[in-house]
């Protein structure tokens, strides 16, 4: 009965992991932040839990292992994609910088030669 009550108030680990992978694929930051809070709450619950409850957690953890592997890979490709996007942003910023520098340099060259 106690196990049933616990299951009623929180999602199973497997559902949580699958949901996290899906939210990450869609870059749903709000949902991921909610899930992060849920996970912290779950961790606190685990720290307070007795042996029986830990048994339930363990069963869920075994069931969710495959989905965790998927989540880990999605996280890995996301990091790679984020690196690419960060590089692109840097390039865009550099473009603005280059444009300004060339304009200034052109002015300096002209004035130093005194041809104006």
Partner 1 sequence: MGTISSAFSIMSQALDADQEALNVVANNVANATTTGYTVETPTFEENSPVTIGGMSMGQGVTETGATSARNKVLEARLDQQQQLASSSGSRLTALNTLQALFTPDTGSSSSSAGDIGSDITNFFDSFTSLESLPTNNAARQSVLSTAGTLAGDISNAAASLNSQRTAIDQEAAGAPTQINALTSAIAQLNQQITTTSPNADAGTLEDQRQQDISQLSQLVGINQITSPNNGLAITTTSGQLLLSGNTSFQMTTGTVDGVTNFYLNNTNVTAGLTTGGGSLGGELTARDQDIPNALSSLDQLAYSISTTVNAQNNSGTDFDGNTGTAANPLNIFSQPDSVANSAINMSVVMTDPNQIAAAAAGAGTGDSANATAMAAMSGQTFVNGQTPINFYSNFVTTLGSTVSGVQTENTAQTASVTQLQTQNDTLSGVNLNDEASQMTTFERSYQAASQVFSTLNTIMASVLNLGEQSTVS
Q: Which residues bind partner 1 (CB under 8 A)?
A: 13, 16-17, 20-21, 23-29, 32-33, 35-36, 39-40, 42-43, 46-47, 51, 54, 57-58, 61-62, 64-66, 68-89, 91-92, 94-95, 97-99, 102, 105-106, 109-110, 113, 115
Do the Cβ atoms of 32 and 23 come closer than 8 Å?
Answer: yes
Q: How far apart are CA 33 and CA 35, in angstroms?
A: 5
When the beta carbons of 7 and 73 are compared against partner 1, the nearer one is 73
- Nearest approach, Cβ of 11 to partner 1 (angstroms)? 12
Of the pair 7, 98, the CB lying nearest partner 1 is at 98
Q: How far apart are CA 74 and CA 72, in angstroms?
A: 6
Minimum CB distance to partner 1, residue 41 (Å): 10
Q: Cα dihedral sign for 52, 56, 62, 64?
A: negative
CB 17 within 8 A of CB 68: yes
CB of 76 to partner 1, least distance (A): 7
CA dihedral 59, 69, 81, 20 (to 10 degrees): -20
Q: Among residues 8 and 113, whose Cβ is nearest to partner 1?
A: 113
């Amino acid at each position: 009965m106690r196990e049933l009550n616990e299951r009623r108030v929180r999602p199973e680990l497997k559902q949580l992991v699958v949901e996290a992978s899906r939210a990450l694929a869609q870059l749903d930051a709000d949902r991921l932040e909610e899930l992060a809070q849920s996970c912290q709450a779950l961790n606190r619950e685990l720290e307070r839990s007795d042996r029986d409850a830990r048994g339930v957690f363990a069963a869920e953890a075994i069931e969710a292992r495959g989905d965790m592997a998927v989540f880990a890979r999605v996280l890995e490709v996301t990091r790679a994609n984020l690196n690419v996007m960060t590089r692109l942003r840097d390039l865009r910023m550099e473009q603005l910088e280059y444009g300004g520098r060339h304009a200034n340099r052109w002015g300096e060259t002209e004035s130093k030669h005194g041809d104006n």
